[in-house]
Amino acid sequence: MHQAATPAPAVRRKRKSRRKLYIVLGIVGVILLLIISSVISGKREKPIAVTTEQAARRTIVETVSATGKVQPETEVKISPEVAGEIIELPMVDGKEVKKGELLMKIRPDSYKAQLEQQQAAISTAESVSGQQQAAVQKAEQDLAQAKDLYNKKLISRTEMLGAQTTFDAAKSMYESGLHSIEGAKASSSQARDQLSKTTIYSPLDGVVTVLNSKLGERVVATNQFAGTEVMRVADLNHMQAVVDVNENDVVHVKIGDSAKVSIDAYGDRKFNGVVEQIANTGKTTGTGTQEEVTNFEVKIRLEGHDMRLRPGLSCTADIQTDMVKDVVSVPIQSVTIRTGDSHLSPEEIEKKKEATEAKDKADNAAEVENVRLAKAAEKAEREKLRKVVFLKTGSEAKLVEVTTGIADDANIEIKSGVK
């Protein structure tokens, strides 16, 4: 019986080494395949997931939003026209007043004295004028008598001319006295007017919204610098929202546009309003900085409310500048801007870019740069941006140029390009 031959130990070790080598090579091959597959798949463009929405007919209301303050339509600053001490002030902040009601009184003593002084000056001037009138009458009689005697050759020409001179002087003084009377009367009238201004009455029915002075304080007249603002009286039955509209939006706002005004203090309640006034000149803030902005003041009359609104309340106004009904519209975010090359595919754009670069390298660099800049400027001037949307056709999206109209916060009107 024969026995099987047993491999030598060296042969067994050689076979085991080969198996290990094959295993390692297999693992390395798998890893390489995974890496290559990953690289290839990474180069492929992944499809972009998008959301779609059906174009629909809607009513689009275009609005301009602005913030500001609630103010009375009529508010009067009460400042005295004469200076002095306040001796009566029967007012408190928030008090209702009627037209003609006493608001304040300034000590009148010095103004009474001035009036009495001017009245005395009138009396003095009238007395002097009476004497001057009598002198004129006597000089007139003397002149007539002198002329008669001169005609009879009883006096010389010199004596007759002296009588004429005396008459002319008396008449001149009398006329001057009359002017003095008129001046004294004018001064008296002015003093009386100043005295009347020591008592100030309300010019309208309203409410005292601001009270700056107290009893016993001295006030400065308005003819002296800005004067003292003692108080303000406002008609709180007729209020308005005074808002600042950005220069880019104010061109769309017109007198008579309707508005919805939200007042912070009243939560979600909306107040109806109508644009009454638009400033012709803008107000610029932050001049010379990145925050520079120009706004125009717009006044909106508030209507149809029975509330007593307080001046100074913060508000936001949404002014309706335009409205279209039953028009094709799409979500505003679906409309994008494209330049003239937007109709080309990414591959075509890249080829165009490579061709341009190759041509540039073939020419003089400086000259090419100048020509390129000139062409770029010409193209920028000639090329207009296009508004486009992507229409879903099957499983793909097609770029379509559209003409848009007005927009609200969510949707935009499509005039052409989408049905």
Task: Please report whether residue 50 resides in a domain.
Answer: no
Residue 303 has pLDDT above 70, yes or no: yes
Task: Please report whether residue 37 resides in a domain.
Answer: no
CB atoms within 10 A of CB 230: 23
With beta carbons less than 8 A apart as the criterion, state whether 207 and 78 touch: no
The Cα–Cα gap between 148 and 134 comes to 22
Instruction: Report the pLDDT value the prediction gives residue 258, as an integer from 0 to 100.
Output: 95
Q: Of 18-32, 148-162, 249-263, 405-419, give the lowest mean pLDDT range.
A: 18-32
Query: Do 226 and 255 have their domain in common?
Result: no
Query: Do 140 and 271 have their domain in common?
Result: no
CB atoms within 10 A of CB 181: 18
What's the mean pLDDT when you consider all of the chain?
83
Determine what percent of the chain falls in helix, strand and coil, rounding each to the nearest 5: 40, 30, 30
Which residue from 84, 132, 124 is spatially nearest to 104, judged by alpha carbons? Answer: 84
Q: Is 225 helix (H, G, I), strand (E, B) or coil?
A: coil
Query: Do 87 and 213 have their domain in common?
Result: yes
CB atoms within 10 A of CB 338: 13
Task: Please report whether residue 191 resides in a domain.
Answer: yes
Band the pLDDT of 287: cuts 50, 70, 90. Answer: confident
Query: Do 207 and 89 have their domain in common?
Result: yes
Task: Please report whether residue 9 resides in a domain.
Answer: no
Query: Do 146 and 172 have their domain in common?
Result: yes
Query: Do 99 and 202 have their domain in common?
Result: yes
The Cα–Cα gap between 380 and 87 comes to 74
Query: Do 99 and 205 have their domain in common?
Result: yes
Instruction: Report the pLDDT value the prediction gives residue 33, as an integer from 0 to 100.
Output: 64
Instruction: Report the pLDDT value the prediction gives residue 1, as an integer from 0 to 100.
Output: 45
Query: Do 81 and 230 have their domain in common?
Result: yes
Task: Please report whether residue 220 resides in a domain.
Answer: yes
Beta strand pairing call for 258-263 and 270-278: antiparallel
Instruction: Report the pLDDT value the prediction gives residue 235, as an integer from 0 to 100.
Output: 93
Instruction: Report the pLDDT value the prediction gives residue 247, as an integer from 0 to 100.
Output: 94
With beta carbons less than 8 A apart as the criterion, state whether 231 and 210 touch: yes
| Between 389 and 267, residue with greater pLDDT | 267
Task: Choose the final residue of a domain: 174, 197, 220.
Answer: 197
Domain coverage including residue 217: 77-107+198-235
| Between 394 and 161, residue with greater pLDDT | 161
With beta carbons less than 8 A apart as the criterion, state whether 335 and 387 touch: yes
> Can you tell me the mean pLDDT for 334-361?
61
Q: Of 3-7, 132-136, 262-266, give the lowest mean pLDDT range.
A: 3-7
Task: Please report whether residue 222 resides in a domain.
Answer: yes
Our count of domains for the chain comes to: 4
Query: Do 357 and 290 have their domain in common?
Result: no
Instruction: List residues bridging with 393 in a β-sheet.
Output: 396
Residue 2 has pLDDT above 50, yes or no: no
Task: Please report whether residue 26 resides in a domain.
Answer: no
Query: Do 120 and 190 have their domain in common?
Result: yes
* pTM score of the predicted model: 0.63
Instruction: Report the pLDDT value the prediction gives residue 347, as an integer from 0 to 100.
Output: 53
Rg of the chain over all Cα atoms, to the nearest angstrom = 48
Residue 345 has pLDDT above 60, yes or no: no
113-136 residues labelled b (16+ CB within 10 A) or e (exposed)? ebbeebbebbeebeebbeebbebb
Query: Do 289 and 338 have their domain in common?
Result: no
